[in-house]
């Protein structure tokens, strides 16, 4: 995470108004895996921020209180459907909406990007890709990550949208879509050739990205 995603990590922190933002990892989608948590701290401990982690497996402290203190919330990759189910059990879904409404920066990778939308393309149910229609719904429409990183992502997403799945956005690996409120603000990339796309029935429109330093 520290090497491959350093430009995107810096970009995420830059969106906070705080000079030393409090950033919290929510690794539920990864089952609170130690390796994911260790990689997060390795990536952020040397930056001008205050990293922390919200674990929900075991005996969690009050999740809502913990998230209410954060300037930036970073959701890991993993199983989108599992994360959504566990969040709803612990009230984390409401805490994330509260954080969004008060202006905290919300972000993440893979499942950590899927979760903010109404719908997404996911491998949560097995190696095949399927639609998921009960996301947090902070952002309207649908999302598909790994658009150039996994062979089946593009054809599955385009077929779903062509047959009634909500239109939305897709992102190549190394590309990030930045929303302000519910409106797309820009696309940024950390590698050459990475794009995001607006996907509607019968069309796929590249969105010109801004390369990060």
Q: What percent of the chain has pLDDT over 90?
A: 94
Are 138 and 55 contained in the same domain? Answer: no
Are 9 and 109 contained in the same domain? Answer: yes
Determine the Cα–Cα distance for residues 154 and 160; give it in Å rounded to an integer: 10
Are 71 and 128 contained in the same domain? Answer: no
Number of domains in the chain: 2
Are 152 and 177 contained in the same domain? Answer: yes
Are 66 and 84 contained in the same domain? Answer: yes
Q: Which domain holds residue 2?
A: 1-115
Q: Using the 3D structure, point to which of 87, 115, 143 is the last residue of a domain.
A: 115
pLDDT of residue 134: 96
pLDDT of residue 58: 86
Q: How far apart are the first and last CA of the chain?
A: 17
pLDDT of residue 32: 97
Are 184 and 108 contained in the same domain? Answer: no
Of 16, 110, 119, 142, which one is the catalytic site residue?
110
Q: 117-122 and 139-144: which strand pairing?
A: parallel
Residue 137, strand partner residues: none
Of 16, 119, 142, 146, which one is the catalytic site residue?
146
pLDDT of residue 61: 81
Are 60 and 126 contained in the same domain? Answer: no
Structure tokens given for 170:
């897709």
76 is catalytic: no
Neighbours of 207 (CB within 10 A): 16
> Hey, is 188 helix, strand or coil?
strand
| pLDDT tens-digit map of 97-147 | 999 999 999 999 999 999 999 999 999 999 899 999 999 999 999 999 999
In the predicted model, is pLDDT for residue 4 greater than 90?
no
Q: For residue 72, what pLDDT band results from cuts at 50, 70 and 90?
A: very high
Contact between residue 199 and residue 144 where contact means Cβ atoms under 8 Å apart? yes
Q: Which domain CATH number covers 34?
A: 3.40.50.880
Are 88 and 16 contained in the same domain? Answer: yes
Mean pLDDT of 153-174: 98
| pLDDT tens-digit map of 192-212 | 999 999 999 999 999 999 999
Mean pLDDT of 52-80: 94
Q: Using the 3D structure, point to which of 115, 145, 163 is the last residue of a domain.
A: 115
Are 106 and 21 contained in the same domain? Answer: yes
52 is catalytic: no
């Amino acid at each position: 995470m520290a090497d491959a995603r350093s430009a995107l990590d810096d970009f995420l922190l830059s969106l906070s108004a705080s000079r030393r933002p409090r950033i919290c990892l929510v690794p539920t989608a990864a089952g609170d895996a130690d390796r994911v948590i260790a990689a997060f701290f390795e990536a952020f401990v040397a930056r001008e921020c205050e990293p922390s982690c919200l674990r929900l497996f075991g005996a969690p402290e009050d999740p809502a209180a913990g998230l209410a203190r954060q300037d930036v919330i970073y959701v890991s990759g993993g199983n989108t459907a599992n994360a959504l189910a566990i969040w709803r059990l612990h009230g984390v879904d409401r805490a994330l909406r509260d954080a969004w409404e008060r202006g905290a920066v919300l972000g993440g990778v893979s499942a950590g990007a899927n979760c903010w939308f109404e719908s997404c393309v996911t491998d949560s149910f097995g190696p095949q890709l399927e639609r998921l229609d009960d996301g947090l719904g902070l952002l309207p429409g649908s999302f598909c990550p790994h658009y150039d990183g996994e062979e089946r992502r593009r054809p599955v997403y385009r077929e779903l949208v062509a047959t009634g799945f909500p239109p939305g956005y897709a992102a190549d690996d190394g590309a990030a879509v930045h929303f302000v409120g519910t409106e797309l603000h820009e696309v940024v990339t950390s590698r050459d050739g990475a794009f995001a796309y607006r996907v509607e029935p019968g069309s796929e429109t590249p969105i010109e990205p801004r390369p990060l330093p």
